[in-house]
Chains A and B, each alone.
Chain A
Amino acid sequence: MSQPSFAAFIAGKPWLSKPMYKIASWYCQAAGYRQLGLRADDLIPEESETVLLALKRLDQKESYDRVYRLRRAFQMSLSHKLLPKEQWTKPEQDYAYLSPIIKQIEAEAKEKADLETLVPNRK
């Protein structure tokens, strides 16, 4: 799930983030998932223990909405159509609902690994 990203680096520099923001917004629109009514976090591959656990931790409403979006997108994809324009995902709807949970789970796993390989050094 955690691929290398320049996002934090770019966000720290206003002169860089302004033009990049424009490019990024254009790219997200051009990527085509919004035209199927999906969000960026819907594209995260499910086939890992971490993501499966994160999906379980989603609250009921989010989880239901996610399934609805995915099924709608499948249907659209099968019938080679796009959604009518008013149903496209708007940029403000395209927020990260799943990745914070994934990050939290990864942090937990890291903490666990760290604590389990810890060597006590008591004075």
Chain B
Amino acid sequence: MISRSAIGRNAQLALKRQCCVQPATRRGLAAAVSGGSTQFSYETAEAGGIKIASRDIAGPTTKLALVAKAGTRYESAPGLTIGLEHFAFKNTHKRSGLRITRESELLGSQLVAYHTREALVLEANFLRNDLPYFAELLAEVAFETRYTAHEYAEEVHDTIHMQQKRLLGNVSELALNSAHGVAFHRGLGAPLQPTSSTPLDKYLNEDTIQDFSKNAYSKSNFALVANGANHAEVSKWAAEFFSGASSTGSALSSEESKYFGGEERISHDSGNSLVIAFPGSSSFTSGSSYKPEMAVLAALLGGQSTIKWSSGFSLLAKATSAFSGVSANATHFSYSDAGLLTIQFNGSAEAIRGASTAAVAALKSIAEGSISKEDFTKAVALAKYRTLEEGQNTEAGLVATGSGIVHTGKAFQIDEVGKAVEGVSADKLKTAAKALLEGKATVSAVGDLFVLPWAEELGLKI
């Protein structure tokens, strides 16, 4: 006979187990999370003539973006890209801009429009379940915006002019724009944001923006990129809402980028900035002209510290540590068919003068092959980390993928990029650095020109 107390105890234990041990499949966000994978590679497809790339990262939110090949490089007159960017999410034929804002607020989402030199991006961040609503919204914004005269006069025009004025006070942006202009002249050389001395009113009004939009949002000119959404679902809704895209509008195009190089000096009263730039590598998505050693070179030069409260141990940081009040930073900008490796100095004019000379000396030492093996390994690791992190970071990966599939049909696959960067050898790096110093450099100085050095004083060929 079993004693009562024993049954009681067992029963208690069993009960305890039942309520405490939860099935492994149970999770807090079960309703919102789909069976998303943790893979960071994009699936690409074409639905209803629209290029689509998506990856199903697990999580309750989705980021859907329309990436159009309509950045400043492709604008047929100055300011059109920025005008089109500002007309995003304004009145459409179906509903007013205010209604779009309020509805997206109610659904708990965020709508953003921005542009890079090559792409114009309309982006929506929202909860996973709301995908159909936002797919429809992006299609509506792209194809059915009304481009009314009064919105242009009351909202778009003034905001653009304020942006122009803001840029005029920002020396580092001015210097980067100037370096791009000197390096590529037209196309990629067009400024990312127009300065206030650009005669925009001559080119920009609601009609020219509308004409530009017809080409920018024509079928072959944009791609849809989704993060955190089921591929089948994205294809389905894209085919439904975006198949109405006009195939008549001609896709925007620009001449193939050619590197020129040279020097530009702009005097400015509020700060100093110097940009030394060299031809870089095009982005990974462009295929054969992709040179991973440029990314490694940028990481080797470095500049910005990866450790808090320390200037870091990169070559630029070491070279410029003797000069206080200056920050040096090497960045590699890559585009679909060209790239620009820039070293930017911000700070006081005297410090920039000294630091830039030291930086050029550091670059020369790389070209002579006098870098330590340890530095090289660190640089490769950092470059790999940066590219992978950029790919994982949904925002950057989104634009890279979008422009990639619009330009060449290739998505930004971070695992392949990582491998390419890993494969860079010290010899390759040395040859690349040597080629840079032998070719023409680009030097842009903005600020106190009495002190800021000329390219010739730095020992660079232009």
Is the A/B pair a real complex?
Answer: yes
Residues of A within 8 A of B (CB): 56-57, 59, 108, 111-112, 115, 118, 120, 122
* 1/0 contact string of B197-219 vs chain A (CB within 8 Å): 00000000000000000000000
Which residues of chain B come closer than 8 Å to A118, judged between CB atoms? 102
The answer, among B96, B98, B149, B154, for a CB contact under 8 Å with A59, is: B149
Is B150 located at the chain interface by the 8 A CB criterion?
A: yes
A57 with B149: CB separation less than 8 A: yes
Contact A111 B98 (CB under 8 A): yes
Taking a contact as CB atoms under 8 Å apart, the answer to whether A115 and B98 are in contact is yes
Within 8 A of A (CB), among B150-169: 150, 153-154
B99 to A115, Cβ gap below 8 A? yes
B98 touches A108 (CB 8 A): yes
B215-248, CB < 8 A from A: none
Q: Which residues of B contact A57 (CB under 8 A)?
A: 149-150, 153
A77 to B362, CA, bound (A): 84
**Dominant SS at the A interface?**
helix
Asked if B13 lies at the interface with its beta carbon under 8 angstroms from chain A, I say no
| Known contacts A56-B153, A122-B106, then 12 further A-B pairs from the complex at CB < 8 Å, ordered by chain A residue | A56-B150, A56-B154, A57-B150, A57-B153, A59-B149, A108-B98, A111-B96, A111-B98, A111-B99, A112-B98, A115-B98, A118-B102
Closest residue of chain A to B148, judged by CB?
A57
Rounded to whole angstroms, the CA-CA distance of A59 and B205 in the bound complex is: 13
Cα of A112 to Cα of B150 in the assembled complex, Å: 17
Q: Is the CB of B102 within 8 A of A115?
A: yes
- Contact residues in A for B96 (Cβ distance below 8 Å): 108, 111
| B106 partner residues in chain A, CB cutoff 8 A | 120, 122
Distance (whole angstroms) from the CB of A53 to the closest CB of chain B: 9
With a CB–CB cut-off of 8 A, which chain B residues contact A111? 96, 98-99
A113 to B154 alpha-carbon distance, docked (Å): 20
Closest beta carbon of chain A to B147's beta carbon, Å: 14
Residues of B contacting A108 in the complex (Cβ-Cβ under 8 angstroms): 96, 98
Taken together as a complex, chains A and B put the C-alpha atoms of A120 and B102 apart, in Å, by 11
- Residue on B with the closest CB to A108? B96
Within the complex, what minimum Cβ distance (angstroms) separates A15 from chain B? Answer: 36
- Closest B residue to A120 by beta carbon equals B106
